[in-house]
Structure 1
Amino acid sequence: MAQETETLLQLLAQHEQQILTEWLQEAGAASTRTSEAARRAMRSEAEEILKAMRTALQAGVQADDFQAPAWAALRQALEALSRTRAAQGQSAGDTSQFVLAFKRPLFVVIQRDMAGQGERQMALVWTMSTLVDRMAQWTVTTYQQTREEIIKRQQQDLLELSTPVIKLFEGVLAVPMIGTLDSARTQVVMETLLQRIVDTGSRLAIIDITGVPTVDTLVAQHLLKTVAAIRLMGAECIISGIRPQIAQTIVHLGIDLQGIASKSSLADALQLAMEQQGFVITRTK
């Protein structure tokens, strides 16, 4: 075990409670704006990090080899900290600042206990500072990964919410499309619609594109793929919401919608669907 590592381990063992208390004070746990629940959570996080750090130092691993297996518990503790803070909406800067606040109480202990040992003191300060910096960097990296995962999950949730499959009546489903169609969204629509066709035994699906601002070659290809998938399931499809501008665009692009029923409005598509299903609409008055 390197001399600096051994000395750091001894200082942590001798002054753990003092270091922990001053660390939390430096991190703002003593602020009147911090709730009691938040204080307890911060203390628990700090204690877990200190415990993992002692375990790694006892294994004799060097502080600059942060990817070593002995540091795995500490990395996991920091990852848990980052994920919790990210889920709470705190920034990466706030998360790393909590870890960096660990430096000051360590500096105080080193300065006091090693007074007059300038060379050893500087070596220990460098070892400790390097370790804490790596810890803070790890939290930032994990925070960014966590935020990306959260954003992707939210995007997926929004896609699913923005593409509802509605059962209009027996045997007929409708999918109102709103916004721009891309590959990811079309895939969600296709999977959701096909599953609903299986679940309900529907024979007809209406895809309403009234809310789609523009139709280009890519959008048309997505629609054709969806229609093809629906037909493979033994159902038929009607496309509604074909406005004059969209009709002209489809013609100019040379897109072939032959064999696919299309209507200018959802009401017309619904009427056609009812006729195909054998329903007759009559007025009672």
Structure 2
Amino acid sequence: MDRKLKEVVLENSNTIVQMWLEDVNKNRKEDISSTISDELFESTNREFVNVIFACVEKQGLTKDLDAFSERLINLGWPLSYITDGLQSFRRVTIHFILQESEKVDTDNFTVILYAVDEWVDPIINQLVSQYSGSWENIVSLQRVALQELSAPLIPVMENITVMPLIGTIDTERAKLIMENLLDGVIKHNAEVVLIDITGVPVVDTMVAHHIIQAAEAVRLIGSTCILVGIRPEIAQTIVNLGIDLSKFPTKSSLRKGFQTALELTNRKIISLQETDQEIGKLLDSLDKE
């Protein structure tokens, strides 16, 4: 019976394709594919239905299916396009077979449904599996990239480094901050580290605890940690929570923190005019001698 059903479907593929295209286009306004150009949508639909019929004809999955799935992922098409398209193929195929029931010698809906399910379900499983696996890989790579960028330690001057923190700090990210901080201090031979929390939206007890731990770890390896970027609302929150930040210097801005870092490393910023005056005084003293 399955052979007869398959023959009817393949012999009338043009009719079924047309029914499928009409059904897919009818539902287009309801999903993300409405933003895709007509030409691309049409060509992708044709490729999709050709892949489906190739799987039905060979009664198994094909390499074209893998290639099509990869293209969809690279184009950023939603998973719903695959699942909705295959469900549409299931509907129109069953409907067509029922209309042609005399040719296949059956009007048993269960037999027809089972046969079509045997064609469609493996395709759905394969496409969804590949799609999900590829997205998981992409998300994993993006997570690694974000982690690498989320807590950078930047050397701004000899023995002085800055770690700008942006966004919410959770336990996992706090661990990454600690690792990057300690590795960076040793790598750059930093005497002073500025932790800038200007971009941290909320500083609660947990965040403050992680920052204190990081500062204490830096102190234990012989460097000084300065917390900068403390906005008025953050300062108020810290006071209300009873958090003790007295063990290391705090500044309201990165500029003030950098000035303190220079003082701690026996340096200061002077203007060119002041430099000229100092040179002039030195030359005068030499002349007198």
Q: Is 1:264 paired with 2:217?
A: no
Instruction: Give yes or no for contact 1:9–1:54 (8 Å, CA) kept in 2.
Output: yes
Alignment map for 1:16-31 (pairs within 5 Å): 16=13, 19-20=16-17, 23-24=20-21, 26-28=23-25
Instruction: Report matched runs for 1:3-82 at 5 Å.
Output: 3=1, 5-16=2-13, 19-20=16-17, 23-24=20-21, 26-28=23-25, 34-35=38-39, 37-56=40-59, 73=61, 77=65, 81=69
Q: Does the Cα contact within 8 Å between 1:28 and 1:34 map onto a contact in 2?
A: no
Structure 2 counterparts to residues 162-241 of structure 1, below 5 A: 163-197=151-185, 199-231=187-219, 235-241=223-229
Contact between 2:194 and 2:225, CA under 8 Å: does it hold in 1? yes
Counterpart of 2:97, as a letter, is: I
Structure 2 residue ranges without an equivalent (≥5) = 29-35, 274-289
Partner of 1:127, secondary structure, is: helix
C-alpha change, 1:14 and 1:118, in structure 2 (3 Å) is: closer
Aligned residue identity for 1:110:
I
Residues 169 and 33 of structure 1, relative CA distance in 2, 3 Å threshold: closer
Larger Rg: 2
CA contact (8 A) 1:99 1:135 kept: no
- Local SS of the residue matching 1:102: helix
The alpha carbon displacement at 1:106 in A equals 2.6
User: Whole-Å Cα distance in 2 between the matches of residues 44 and 229 of structure 1?
Assistant: 59
For 2:264, the equivalent position in structure 1 comes to: 276
Measure how far apart 1:168 and its partner are.
2.0
1:218 Cα deviation from its structure 2 partner: 0.7
Which digits, 9 at most, give the CA deviation of each residue in 1:64-88, with x for residues without a partner?
A: xxxxxxxxx47x948964x755664
Q: Distance in 2 between matches of 1:55 and 1:182?
A: 51
TM-score, normalization by structure 1: 0.66
Contact conserved, 2:82 with 2:124, CA < 8 A, in 1? Answer: no
Q: Structure 1 counterpart of 2:249, which letter?
A: A
Question: Which residue of structure 1 aligns with residue 83 of structure 2?
Answer: 96
Aligned-residue offset at 1:28? 3.9
State whether residues 86 and 124 of structure 2, in contact with CA within 8 Å, keep that contact through their aligned partners in structure 1.
no
Q: Could you give the per-residue CA deviations for residues 133-169 of structure 1, whole angstroms, max 9, x where no partner exists?
A: 7469756787678778767766776666565543322
Using structure 2 for the length normalisation, give the TM-score: 0.65
Q: Where does structure 1 lack aligned partners over 5 or more consecutive residues?
A: 58-72
The separation in 1 between residues aligned to 2:65 and 2:218, in whole angstroms, is 48
1:215–1:112 Cα change, 3 Å: closer
How is 1:97-112 mapped onto 2 (pairs within 5 angstroms)?
A: 97-103=84-90, 106-107=93-94, 110-111=97-98
Describe the superposition over 1:203-248 as per-residue Cα deviations: whole angstroms up to 9, x where unpaired.
4321122343443211111212333454566543211133555445
Identity fraction in percent: 28
Aligned residue type for 1:269: G
Query: Where in structure 2 are the equivalents of 1:106-121 lying within 5 Å?
Result: 106-107=93-94, 110-111=97-98, 113-115=100-102, 119-120=106-107
The number of aligned residues is 263
Answer whether contact 1:171 1:204 (CA < 8 A) is retained. yes
Q: Would you say the 8 A contact 1:100–1:136 is kept in 2?
A: no
> Once superposed, what is the RMSD of the aligned Cα atoms?
4.4
Following the alignment from structure 1 to structure 2, what is the Cα–Cα distance between the partners of residues 16 and 185? 55
Q: 1:93, CA displacement in angstroms?
A: 4.1
Structure 1 residues 17 and 203, CA, compared in 2 at 3 Å: closer, same or farther?
A: farther
